[in-house]
Structure 1
Amino acid sequence: MTQPGTASPEEIARFTAMADAWWDPTGKFKPLHKFNPVRIDFMRRQFAELFGRDPSLERPFEGLTLLDVGSGGGLLSEPLAALGFTVTGIDAGEKNVKVASLHAEKTGANVTYRVASPEQLDPAEMYDVVLCMEVVEHVTDIDLFLRSAGAHLKPGGVFVGATLNRTPKSWLLAVVGAEYILRWLPRGTHDWHKFVRPSEFSRMLRNAGIETHRFVGVSYNPISDEWRETDSLDVNYLVLGGKAA
């Protein structure tokens, strides 16, 4: 999440109210804990290919820098630091940053957290990887947000984003199902009108100087209680892009 100009005070307040639950795998962020293995596996494979690293190594990404925009409690920042990245996590919610920092101190994770939005960073701060995961649907100006985040991606760097498609199926599953029937998330967590179609995401990335390489869908299997990659982009999806060298 971000601070003004792309921040939504309502969204900051919503996630700040849940901040203490970030690292509870059975709590309010249970869906993200379930989602995490798929996201991390996808990034590990893609980063290894694009940076020419051996994905079988314990820390294949030593020497590379990563900016996690909207880092929340650090659910992605910490495991990516464990893979060797030097990670900076920024978030608009001060309490989120405090929770993430305390958890990193306990685990010894090499992550630096700051209360900031991408447009507030020093223009000289550049990173090999920029992440915007499950955050664009919560900001007030997605185009400005992505241009601000993209400005901190090095030439030849890699961008990864994740969000929800604006389809009837996503309204049924991600809003009605997840918030009202299954109660995975507090009611009001998502506004369907703020969901982003892949074509819109790709266009805004181009405005940020980032070319889209591929989209991958992610779907939930209620029988196995697991998330997996899929060809369908109807609900949750990941986007991989890059900036020309």
Structure 2
Amino acid sequence: MQHPSVIPQEIAHFNALAARWWDESGPMRPLHMMNGPRAAWVVQRVRALVGPGVEILDIGCGAGLLAEALAKQGFEVLGADAGAEVIEAARSHAQGQGLNLQYRNATAEELVAEGVKFPVVTALEILEHVADPVAFLRTLADLLEPGGVLFLSTLNRTPQSFLTAKLGAEYILRLLPKGTHDWKKFITPAELGRYCREAGLRLADTAGLSFSPRRRGFVLSHDLSVNYLAMAVAD
């Protein structure tokens, strides 16, 4: 089976970070800083468009930052990731919290082969790490129920993102391990809209995730020049 979501080197890179994924001052610090606003953006739209307590599939869940945040908001969540070590870290962290949350070491393609479908799918900070973004979006569309909603987040390919998300975050401020991102694989909103159409999805909403020095964290904004969120609907 073809796995357009899997690049072995990417899986190995993130597996190597599994033990420190939940360390808020560790290598996943930017994800911790983003997690509150990105989860809030998703939750607000899921409740408005689909309903409370629905089942959500979180693809590329890593060690579970978003999955746990969604489960704590009352959703039934399945987190799936191709990395075995990050899934073990996710399970360990969730243990004893009494959340309606399960994890699987599986790819999106494997779930499609099982015929499972969900009203909501999230795939945050993964699109820039897959082998074939269009094929991956088609796979995600296959995991959606009719009228289902897909949430994405990725990085825009702009001079600003090169300076801040690549050069700044990895080499100057060292917020991320070197080699975390390949700037050439960042995706513009226009490209994402086209990719979604090719996958049978309609890009319905976007929002920026911008760093606020005053708040020392990320906030939702209208600025899509670096990090941005997107919502697509299965027509």
Deviation at 1:145, TM superposition (A): 0.9
Deviation at 1:171, TM superposition (A): 0.3
Unaligned runs of 5+ in 1: 54-60
Deviation at 1:46, TM superposition (A): 1.3
Q: Report the more deviating stretch, 221-230 or 12-21.
A: 221-230
| TM value normalised by structure 1 | 0.91
| TM value normalised by structure 2 | 0.95
Partner of 2:198: 207
**Which of 124, 131, 134 is the matching residue for 2:122?**
131
The sequence identity of aligned pairs, in percent, is 42
Q: Contact conserved, 2:7 with 2:131, CA < 8 A, in 1?
A: yes
Unaligned runs of 5+ in 2: none
**Which of 145, 165, 170 is the matching residue for 1:154?**
145
Partner of 1:172: 163
Post-superposition Cα deviations, 1:82-130, rounded to whole Å, max 9, x if no partner, equal: 2222111110110011111111213232222111111111352010101
Q: Contact conserved, 2:4 with 2:130, CA < 8 A, in 1?
A: no
Q: Report the more deviating stretch, 188-197 or 112-121.
A: 112-121
Q: What one-letter code is carried by the residue in structure 1 that aligns with 2:11?
A: I
Q: Contact conserved, 2:157 with 2:226, CA < 8 A, in 1?
A: yes
Partner of 2:96: 106
Post-superposition Cα deviations, 1:154-205, rounded to whole Å, max 9, x if no partner, equal: 1121111000000111000101111111110011110000101111111111
The number of equivalent residue pairs is: 233
Q: Contact conserved, 1:104 with 1:110, CA < 8 A, in 2?
A: no
SS for the counterpart of 2:23 is coil
1:39-50 alignment runs, 5 A limit? 39-50=38-49
Q: Give the alignment's Cα RMSD to 1 decimal.
A: 1.4
Partner of 1:83: 73
Q: 1:159 & 1:198 partners in 2: Cα distance?
A: 15
Q: 2:147 & 2:44 partners in 1: Cα distance?
A: 17
Q: Contact conserved, 1:131 with 1:159, CA < 8 A, in 2?
A: yes
Q: Contact conserved, 1:69 with 1:91, CA < 8 A, in 2?
A: yes
